[in-house]
Structure formats: structure tokens, C-alpha cells
Amino acid sequence: MAYKDEFIEIYNTHVTREGADKLLKWLMGTDFFTAPASTRFHLACEGGLVEHSVNVYRVLRERYFDEGDSEESFALCGLLHDVCKAQFYGVSTRNVKNESTGQWEKKPFYTVEDKFPYGHGEKSVYLIERFVRLKPQEAVAVRWHMGGFDESVKGGSFAISEAYDRYPLAVKLHLADLEATYLREHRG
């Protein structure tokens, strides 16, 4: 099954809140299903973002789902934690020397074209909540899914510690994101 189809199946099966249909319709009108997951690190390829989103959901569900956890929360957080990357990348070209011919050739590469610089996790929460109301633990999990890579943490904020202490879903999402990126996707 293609990642887009799997994403939609998981989403439609588990996300039933008011506005869920409008959020999915909005996603379909963006490049979410064709965008890369990054410019040059993990899944820097067409469709990388939706592949990564499904991978994070899979790890989150397989490794961290406990009795009493919400299927809907896991689907929302796993599938949409990086929704901030929709309409975020552009494509440019650069000259690269072809080693076999010695000729310079134009090669495409992804660039960041952030038209709404609002932060990573914060932006994902904002975009989701335009359509679907998140529970506090979901909003905090999406907000802090970057862990120590988050710019505010790099700047010295200790709020992440309180978030992780108070909301286990935030820790689980961060760990699932790390495992998907570094172990399952092999940063390919």
C-alpha cells in the first residue's frame, strides 16, 4: 500500500473529531503527500514527508501504546506532528560535476521556503487546530516532538522538561520520531 493510502486509511479509521474531514481536505490541497521530510537528511525525496509520518505513527503505535492510551491521539500525533512541513519546501537547482563525463550538470535539490516562520512544533499545533481541537497532551506532544533539536531548547528553555514530566505522550512521540528517523529510515 502506498504511504498516502496508508496515511488516509489510518486517519479515517482513528480520527473522528469534529473538523477531521476538513483537515484531511486541506492536507489534500497542499503538497503534504509529495513533499520531502527534509532538505538533505532523512527522506529528502518526493513523498518523504508522508512516509515519515506513517513511520512515526507505526513506531508510536507498535512500541508505546499502553492500555488506556487513545488510538485517536496516537493517530493525530503520529501522522500530523510534522504538518508544519506542508507548503514549506521549494525546489532549486545547482551545478554538479558529472564525474564520468567531466561536464557540469544542473541537479535539483530541496530548499526551505518557510512562508510562515512560527516555529516547528508550534506551527504544527497551530495548523492542526485550525480544523481539529487538540487535547492538551496532544498539543504538548506535537509541540515538543523535536526534543533537544527544538530551537527553544537550544536557546536554554527548560519547558520541555516539564512537558515530558507531565505528559507521557510527548515523550513517546519524541522517541517514535527518533526511532523512525534514525533506525527505520536510516536517514535515507
pLDDT of residue 109: 83
The verdict on residue 20 lying in a domain is yes
The verdict on residue 52 lying in a domain is yes
For helices 48-64 and 3-14, give the axis angle rounded to 10 degrees. Answer: 50
Gap between the Cα atoms of 159 and 141, Å rounded: 12
The verdict on residue 105 lying in a domain is no
For helices 136-143 and 120-129, give the axis angle rounded to 10 degrees. Answer: 140
The verdict on residue 108 lying in a domain is no
Domains held by the chain: number: 1
- Using a cut of 0.75, tell me whether the model's pTM lies above it: yes
**Chain segment 129-178, per-residue pLDDT in tens:** 999 999 999 999 999 999 878 888 778 888 999 999 999 999 999 999 99
The verdict on residue 58 lying in a domain is yes
pLDDT of residue 65: 97
Residues of the chain with pLDDT under 70: 1, 187-188
145 is in which domain, residue-wise?
3-84+117-184
**What is the DSSP annotation of 62-116?**
HHH--TT--HHHHHHHHHHTTGGGTT-EEEEEEEEE-TTT--EEEEEEEEE--SS
Tell me the torsion sign for CA atoms 164, 168, 173, 178.
positive
